[in-house]
Structure 1
């Protein structure tokens, strides 16, 4: 494989690995928010912000953890036939189906950028009583979709290398 492809795979994998390892601790953030919500509802006045912050934290956790999940191969596959195939056959099928993922992520990214632009331009706020601005979570979604797209391309290059009998 050309040096530029090897560098691309190494850099994208390293960035997504670091972000994914950090996002693993996001579960503790969500637990803390929900514990505070329970505490405040029981002992003090209920907080308006806890439900939405918990939702934003969960979106961040899933969206920014997605590329790491792709990298580890933790995504769900139909294993009826796939599990019995050789490594090369799996790579061939993955190299074909990754185009569907790349297309899907491209559409998601396009929509997310359009939605984020609207949110920034018009100061979009949530319709709840707390009314937070929506642009921060939309920017996180754009970054996450972009990182997933980069990771999908990295996985495509790895599959091509496996088909050729090389290792990246």
Structure 2
């Protein structure tokens, strides 16, 4: 594979590894928010913001970890025939199927950018009693989708290289 593609794959892997590992620890913050909500609900007046903040944190956790999960091959796969194929056959099939994921992520990013633009332009707020601005979480969503898209493209290049018999390290 050409050097620019190798560099692209290496940098995308590095960025998604860092972002994914940081996102992995967001679960502790989310548990802390939910624990605080449970304690205050049991003994005091429950805060208006806690459950919605936990939802926002879950969205960030899920989407920022998407690229890392693709990189680690932690996604769900139907292994009915896949395990019996040779590695090069798997790589060719994976190269085709990842194209569908790239298309889906591109459409998702387009919709996310449109929604984020609307949220920024009109100051969109949640309909809850807390009424937080929606733009920050929508920006995080777009970043997560973008990083997942980059990782899917890197995976495509990795699959092509493996199908050609020159795997990328």
Q: Same fold (TM over 0.5)?
A: yes
Cα offsets for 1:66-93 (capped at 9, x unmatched): 0000001111111111122111111010
Question: Once the 2 structures are TM-superposed, how far is the Cα of residue 122 of structure 1 from its aligned partner?
Answer: 0.3
1:25 aligns with 2:25: yes
Partner of 2:157: 157
Partner of 2:4: 4
1:105 aligns with 2:105: yes
SS, match of residue 80 in structure 1: coil
Q: d(CA) in 1 for partners of 2:96 and 2:89?
A: 11
Q: d(CA) in 2 for partners of 1:101 and 1:167?
A: 21
SS, match of residue 131 in structure 1: coil
Cα offsets for 1:17-72 (capped at 9, x unmatched): 01111111111011101000001101111110011000000000000000000001
For residues 119-130 of structure 1, the aligned pairs below 5 Å read 119-130=119-130
Question: Once the 2 structures are TM-superposed, how far is the Cα of residue 15 of structure 1 from its aligned partner?
Answer: 0.3
1:62 aligns with 2:62: yes
Calculate the TM-score normalised by the size of structure 1: 0.98
Q: d(CA) in 2 for partners of 1:42 and 1:84?
A: 54
Question: Once the 2 structures are TM-superposed, how far is the Cα of residue 128 of structure 1 from its aligned partner?
Answer: 0.5
> How many corresponding residue pairs?
168
SS, match of residue 77 in structure 1: coil
Calculate the TM-score normalised by the size of structure 2: 0.98
Partner of 1:118: 118
Which of structure 1's runs of 4+ aligned residues deviate more than 6 A? none
Q: d(CA) in 2 for partners of 1:64 and 1:99?
A: 21
Q: Give the CA RMSD over aligned residues.
A: 0.6
